[in-house]
Amino acid sequence: MTTADTVTGTAKTMVLNMGPQHPSTHGVLRILLELDGETVVKAVPDLGYLHTGIEKSCEDKTYSQAITLTDRMDYLNPLGNNLVYCMAVEKLLGLEVPKRAQYIRVLMVELQRISSHLVWLGTHAIDLGAMSVFLYCFREREEILKIFEMFSGQRMMTSYIRIGGVALEPPAGWRPAVRKFLEMMPSRVDEYEALLTENPIWIRRTKNIGYISPEDAIALSMTGPTLRAAGVAYDNRKVFPYSSYEEFDFDVPTRTESDCYARYMVRVAEMRESLKIVRQAMQKISDEGPIKAEAPGIIPPDREKMKTEMEALIYHFKIFTEGFSPPPGEAFVAVESPRGELGCFVASDGSPKPLRVHFRAPSYINLQALPKLVEGQLIADVIACIGTIDIVLGEVDR
């Protein structure tokens, strides 16, 4: 940017390049800041450093193969990405998922929401100078990742949710493991709150910082905790329930201040709500029952059936060599990811590979509001504002 391009066009302002390797940009986000002293006059985000063409790659894979790509998008919410993609394909196919599998999905994505919020809280706090919170948050996140490893064999890129259900039967001993986590976690959330909620430094760094009005937030398509902290109770789990969320009893926390502090309070409250949902999901998951839909030719058959039934063996072979072909059409599904409305649009032309897969990435769209949050604020508050929108650059750039 040359001086002539700046807003004032005089030597009064200077341009600062922030990122793409700045630690507080949470990945590889670059922001061009025009500063007047310490005040931000203009901010222009520059993205794409992590663009990997996931949507294009999906078009070259069969419907089932594309699941593994979705894991790598929002790497703090791989199960949520699996879920939204699988639900979109299931909608195209008109497939009904068994209740038991739906509850297992809810259990997993709610644990994922807690772990994602933990990473957010830890990194946001470390950005603003509170080192110890980070260590505590990652300690608890580790426990959640151990549960994921139990279920799927993987800590992060689980690919556990599959088209028509989930990949594996819940492992032996999953109930005690989840119960142990549920017993430990509420007091741990209290601990984080004890460190931050009434901490004068924390309050000074976050209160009245990064305000956005609810009207502006909706106009800029913001969703998730950022929108709820502005007083709009828009949560897909309540407004357009999916995966049996209508059977769960939980609240949607909102605040009205719409600053960084309000967004912190909303996310902490969401962790407690998620714990409530996990507890209910655990009770709803029965010990016996199907974990995937019955759909020959689409869902791989059980190993047992494959060894005894000719048809099952043929279907298995066909699914893994050719894939399956949903009817031509388009489907859009949205779920509530830890960052907001995560949508998946899948278009089929009747062939075994998707015609188009598109993800409505909440990080990408929320990041659009960053200039609105930071312009007129001090440069130190830019860090607080980036942290508070909770972006994951893997999802922003896809």
Partner 1 sequence: MTESSSQKASVVAECLRSWNPQAIAKVIEFRNETTIVVPPNLFRAVAERCRADAQLQFNLLTDATCVDRFPVEPRFELNYHLVSIPRRDRVRLQVELNSQDPVVDSLVSVWPGANWLEREIFDLFGIHFTGHPDLRRILLPDDWEGYPLRKDFPVEGYRDVPTSGELFKKSSML
Q: Which residues are CB-contacts of 193 (< 8 A; sequence separation ≥ 6)?
A: 268
Residues 6+ apart with CB under 8 A from 73: 54, 81, 359, 361, 394, 395, 398
Of residues 186 and 328, the one with the C-beta less far from partner 1: 328
Judged by beta carbon, residue 130 or residue 333, the one nearer partner 1 is: 333
What letter represents residue 369's amino acid?
A
- 375 Cβ contact partners less than 8 Å away, ≥ 6 residues apart: 40, 41, 42, 43
Question: Which residue, 70, 303, 263, is CA-closest to 168?
Answer: 303
Closest to partner 1 by CB, 64 vs 348, is 348
Backbone phi, then psi, for 46, in 5-degree steps?
Answer: -125, 120
Shortest spacing between CB 301 and partner 1, in angstroms: 25
Q: How far apart are CA 36 and CA 33, in angstroms?
A: 10
Site of interaction with partner 1 (CB under 8 A): 1, 5-6, 15, 30, 32, 34, 42, 44, 46-48, 51, 53, 55-57, 59-60, 91-92, 94, 218-223, 232, 234, 239-240, 329-332, 334, 341, 343, 345, 347, 349, 355-356, 358, 360, 364-365, 367-368, 397-398
The Cα–Cα gap between 160 and 158 comes to 5
Which CB atom, from 318 or from 356, has the smaller least distance to partner 1?
356
Min dist. Cβ of residue 352 to partner 1 (A): 16
The C-alpha angle with vertex 48 and arms to 45 and 52, in degrees rounded to 5, equals 155
- Residue 194 or 219: the one with the smaller Cβ distance to partner 1 is 219
The distance of closest approach from Cβ of residue 330 to partner 1 in the complex, given in angstroms and rounded to an integer, is: 7
Name the token pair of 357: 């897969």
DSSP 112: H
Minimum Å gap between C-beta 364 and partner 1 is 7
Shortest CB 296 distance to partner 1, Å: 21
d(CA 389, CA 385): 7
Q: Least Å distance between CB 93 and partner 1?
A: 9
Q: Which is nearer to partner 1, 138 or 329 (CB)?
A: 329
Q: Which is nearer to partner 1, 13 or 388 (CB)?
A: 13
Positions of E strands within 252-355: 329-337, 340-348
Smallest gap from residue 313 Cβ to partner 1 (A): 31
What letter would DSSP give residue 8? S
